[in-house]
Amino acid sequence: MSKYFVEFAALAMAHFLALISPGPDFFLIVGTSVREGASRATGLCAGIAAANGAYILLALTGFAFIKETPLLFTALRTAGALYLVYLGVMLLKAPRRQDSSPLEPEAESSGTNRRRQFAAGFLSAILNPKNAVFYLSLFTVMVSRDTPPPIQASYGLWMVLAVFFWDLSIAQLAGSEKVRCRLDRHTHWIEKCSGGALLLLGAVLLVRGG
């Protein structure tokens, strides 16, 4: 069995276990999908995947300065915590939908909406310094220095795709019309719980210093 296959299997398993653990991105996706529908959360998932890709690229190119520079790490951590608090407050303040009819087109164009969702997802993931530490540690501990760069790049590409499609599956489940119709009476509270979870996560990061 190829050592690269074994290496990839170990890397993929560790990444998947981290992926299925609910975090800020999970609550953001659920809250957005329940309110706006799965199709409108696609940009959000793409933004989250792009931010993960940025940190994977940093890990592959050997940039450990985020972890090794306390001031930079603290600044990023604080910004991330404040952004989680902001997202939580926005979800908590969102008004209750009046009915369970299919979503009407928004005043803004679909392209504008996708860019807005992409930016929200990207900021959510890029302002989480734990992503930087996770990928840096993952590649440092599990990937051999002898592994050729193209193979390491394929590992990174797989992880970016895994993040995107996993998040997209969550959005499809939470935002599907069938699920939303069944949970229509509880949609408002699901959204509020997601906002509360984001607010709590941000507050805990601020109080504990990340």
Domain ranges of the chain: 27-100+111-208
Q: Are 34 and 180 in contact (CB under 8 A)?
A: yes
Contact 166, 45 (CB under 8 A): no
pLDDT at 97 (0 to 100):
54
Owner of token pair 């005043």: 107
Which pLDDT score, from 0 to 100, does residue 182 have? 65
Question: Two tokens at 90?
Answer: 């926005």
Tokens 């501990």 correspond to what residue? 141
DSSP code at position 107: S
Distance CA 191, CA 196 (A): 9
The predicted structure's pLDDT at residue 64? 61
Burial 66-90 (b: 16+ CB within 10 A, else e): beeeeeebeebbbebbebbbebbee
pLDDT at 101: 42
Q: Environment class of residue 174 by beta-carbon count within 10 Å: exposed (0-12), middle (13-18) or buried (19+)?
A: buried
Question: Residue 159: its pLDDT value, please?
Answer: 95
Read off the amino acid at residue 161: L
For the chain of 210 residues, list the mean pLDDT of each consecutive stretch of 10: 83 87 83 80 93 91 69 74 79 62 47 85 86 82 84 94 95 78 63 77 72
Distance CA 182, CA 205 (A): 34
Q: How many of the other CB atoms lie within 10 Å of CB of 145?
A: 6
Distance CA 109, CA 17 (A): 37
